[in-house]
């Protein structure tokens, strides 16, 4: 079975500001839109931002000594793509909730990870595994 793209719709407080973030900072191609929502090609997946008066609250869950924001979403990239994204985000002045680093070093789930928020406070995590075949290993 081939992996199919996911679809995710998230609330945002300011459509123009968030549209600019996903298009210009994240490098996502913009698709269809209206005055209330915008579609993006989010690394081959469909992300839709919806203008909303109500935003999600986040909590912190401790993982590897860091307060991981929950909920969050993102994509597993190749290590090369992850490094390129981290470099681009740093150059654009994105403030990280958790700076890019490698966690679980030497363990089956060793992974590069980084967390940051979009302008509406939606938490994103991007990661890359040292060995993708061990992504679900205990």
- CATH homologous superfamily of 59-134: 2,3-Dihydroxybiphenyl 1,2-Dioxygenase, domain 1 (3.10.180.10)
Residue 129 CB coordination number (10 Å) = 21
Query: What architecture does CATH give domain 7-51?
Result: 2-Layer Sandwich (3.30)
**Tokens 């990280």, located at residue:** 96
**What is the rounded CA–CA span in Å between residue 50 and residue 48?**
6
- For 92-110, the pLDDT digits (tens) are 999 999 999 999 988 888 9
CATH 3.30.720.120 residue ranges for the chain: 7-51
Q: In the chain, where does the domain assigned CATH 3.10.180.10 lie?
A: 59-134
pTM of the model: 0.91
Q: How confident is the model at residue 1 (pLDDT cuts 50, 70, 90)?
A: low
């Amino acid at each position: 079975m081939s992996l199919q793209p996911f679809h995710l719709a998230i609330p945002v407080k300011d459509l123009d500001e968030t549209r600019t973030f996903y298009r210009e900072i994240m490098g996502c191609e913009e698709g269809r839109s209206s005055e209330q929502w915008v579609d993006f090609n989010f690394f081959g997946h469909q992300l839709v931002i919806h203008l909303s008066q109500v935003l999600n609250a986040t909590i912190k869950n401790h993982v590897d000594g860091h307060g991981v924001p929950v909920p969050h979403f993102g994509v597993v990239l190749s290590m090369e793509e992850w490094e390129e994204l981290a470099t681009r985000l740093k150059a654009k002045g994105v403030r990280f909730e958790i700076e890019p680093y490698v966690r679980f070093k030497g363990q089956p789930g060793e992974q590069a990870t980084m967390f940051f928020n979009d302008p509406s406070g939606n938490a994103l995590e991007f990661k890359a595994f040292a060995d993708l075949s061990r992504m679900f290993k205990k």
